[in-house]
Amino acid sequence: MDPNAGPPRGPGGTPTRESSFPKWAVWIVLGLVATVIIGSTFLDRSTGETVAYSEFIAAVEDERVASIRFDNTSGRIEGTYRDGGTFNTTGYLTLSDTDRALLDDKNVAQEPATPQSSLLAQLIPLLLPIGLLILFFWWMQRRASGQMGNVMSIGRSRAKTYTTERPTTTFDDVAGYEGVKQEIREIIDFLRQPAKFAAIGARIPKGVLLVGPPGTGKTLIARAVAGEAGVPFLSVTGSDFMEMFVGVGASRVRDLFTSARKMGRAIIFIDEIDSIGRKRGAGLGGGHDEREQTLNQMLAEMDGFEATEGIVIIAATNRPDVLDPALLRPGRFDRQVVVPLPEYTERLAILRVHCRHKRIAPDVDLTVVARGTPGMAGADLANLVNEAALFAVRGGDDIIRARHFEDARDRVMIGARRESVVMNAAEREMTAYHEAGHAVMAALLPGCDPVHKVTILPTGMALGVTMTLPQEDRHSIAESAIHDRLAMILGGRMAEDLVYGEVTNGASDDLRKATEFARRMVREWGMSERIGPMAWGSGGPVFLGEDWAQTREYSDETARIIDEEIERILRQAEDRTRETLHENRNGLDLVARALLEHETIDGREVNRLLDISRTPGPVGVDSLPIPPLPPPAQVAPSAG
């Protein structure tokens, strides 16, 4: 039985009583009884004081011994003094003639005895091996029956049952996502008060599908439903239905819905439903494999009961595009609830939840942390807070400070610092100009995000990093901003070409990103005048088996035009970047010199150096001093 399944329940969903007397106590009682019986057989029942044999002979000579009982099998002698006392001693197996004559002369009553062993003592040597054989065969039978029971119960559902007696997570632990929680609360209210909905003829959806990127908290929301529902909650993952035996998945689906019906009103949660809900007929094995039969059984079960029965199915997936259409039609999963990446206010609330039980320094402003983490899901934010705590421990601090959050964000977003990489002077200078080219273009072009940090310390897979952070969340981007980003991406390559007259392989990742941007501009976003308002998809991998013989959606002539447009966009971005860096060569040199001296500078320093480079007059770059870095700005403590 699962430890999270709560107390055992009968067919009506009520807890069943188990015997308070544990099974292992029976074996302890039997062991004690056997110990008493065996111990009593070999227990020494001798009474009186124990004396030496010589003392016994001396007492006989002094006529102090009245009678003795002699065991001729062990030489044990038990006697009684004339004053009423008792004694025992151990002599020879056969009394000597002298000792026997002494006893006769002193009128000592003698009682020879040959004790007979008990029946139990005689049977123990025979019963012990027989008992061991019986125990061995009994253990083998129990093991075989257990394996047979496992085989017979393989078709039973593996769902974990949560009840109102064991609430773990509630909606208070789910920060943000008020719209999602409102739709889930509507289902909970229906299960708690079905008469209120039935009075006006409202029908609650049979199934709710939570859709969103990984880490956004879909499973967490389902756990919160388990704590808020007030009805039995059955939790199972899609992989629990699949087994090596044919028909097991369908059998477990039937058992799951049967268990839910016995409970009356209940919620069934299926995590990662895409593992069994993929489109039928899209596999290479045809339409009769185990996964499709499991899906067919689930579709039949969802159609087999009415909504008034009080059973609601909640499922979660991050791949809604591969689900079978029959699973998403009305009457099955009627409602799809999107759980997107959190916005700024939601990220702030999530950070406050994860920092609730941690020691946070007053200089930590969670609003700044939330603004600097765009695109992070709830799991990423939880990992960020944990990484900050780990940095604090490694640094010997007993409290998490703002610099720990900064280091944690760098580690999560750009990777860990590689201390083992040592660059020579030429590589270090070229890396400085490469990153300076990115930073200068990002600082000069309005469509780029502000520069946050520039470093030439090897980090992650790169020799240097230029990090930009948006000032606010963006949901769309204009064509001019895309061109600005292309110029910023190519800034490192063009800085190398401008300063050294040649380029290196350090811009390979930049070229890949720029080409992908240009390709999507032409093929998906309609940002090419020659192509016009047409889109042909992302060109990603095809779902196995579906459209196996996929053909290209456009002609060879259109493909040639697409390639020409992608090249034109990249060439224009390259020319624009080269011209901009040439006009701001003093600023490029200043930023590169600052990186060589300080290794890491922030966005404020980049803007300050660009302002210095625009000083009127014939000022050479070698005569331009690099002022020391200003002290970091003091951050107000968080109000939360």
What is the set of active-site residues? 435
Distance CA 636, CA 577 (A): 38
Which own/partner contact pairs does 424-431 have at CB distance under 8 Å and 24+ positions apart? 427/463, 428/456, 428/596, 429/592, 429/596, 430/496, 430/500, 430/504, 430/506, 431/456, 431/463, 431/464, 431/506
* Strand 600-602, strand 160-162: pairing: unpaired
- Write the CB contacts of 512 (distance below 8 Å, at least 6 apart in sequence): none
Distance CA 601, CA 593 (A): 11
Distance CA 369, CA 342 (A): 14
* Strand 76-81, strand 65-71: pairing: antiparallel
Q: What are phi and psi of 271, to 5 degrees?
A: -85, 145
Tracing tokens 């895409």 back to the chain, one arrives at: 274
Q: For the chain, what is the largest distance between any 2 Cα atoms, rounded to a whole number of angstroms? A: 145
Per the DSSP assignment, residues forming a β-bridge with 111 are: 69
Distance CA 17, CA 12 (A): 14
Distance CA 545, CA 286 (A): 9
Q: What are phi and psi of 573, to 5 degrees?
A: -65, -35
Residue 164's closest CA among 224, 228, 221?
228
Give me the DSSP letters along 62-129: TT-EEEEEEETTT-EEEEEETTS-EEEEE--SS--HHHHHHHHHTT-EEEEE-PPPPHHHHHHHHHHH
Please, how many CA atoms are within 13 Å of residue 589, restricted to the half-sphere of its CB?
Answer: 18
- Asked whether 335 and 602 are in contact (CB, 8 A), the reply is no
Count Cβ atoms below 10 Å from residue 110 Cβ, excluding itself.
Answer: 14
Tracing tokens 């001798």 back to the chain, one arrives at: 46
Tracing tokens 């008493």 back to the chain, one arrives at: 36
- Asked whether 363 and 635 are in contact (CB, 8 A), the reply is yes
DSSP H or E stretch at residue 39: helix 23-41
Distances (CA, A) of 271 to 217, 223, 275, 312: 12, 11, 9, 14
Edge-to-edge strand ranges of the sheet holding 451-455: 465-468, 451-455, 600-602
- Asked whether 291 and 242 are in contact (CB, 8 A), the reply is yes
Q: Which two tokens stand for residue 360?
A: 């946070």
Q: What are phi and psi of 268, to 5 degrees?
A: -110, 125
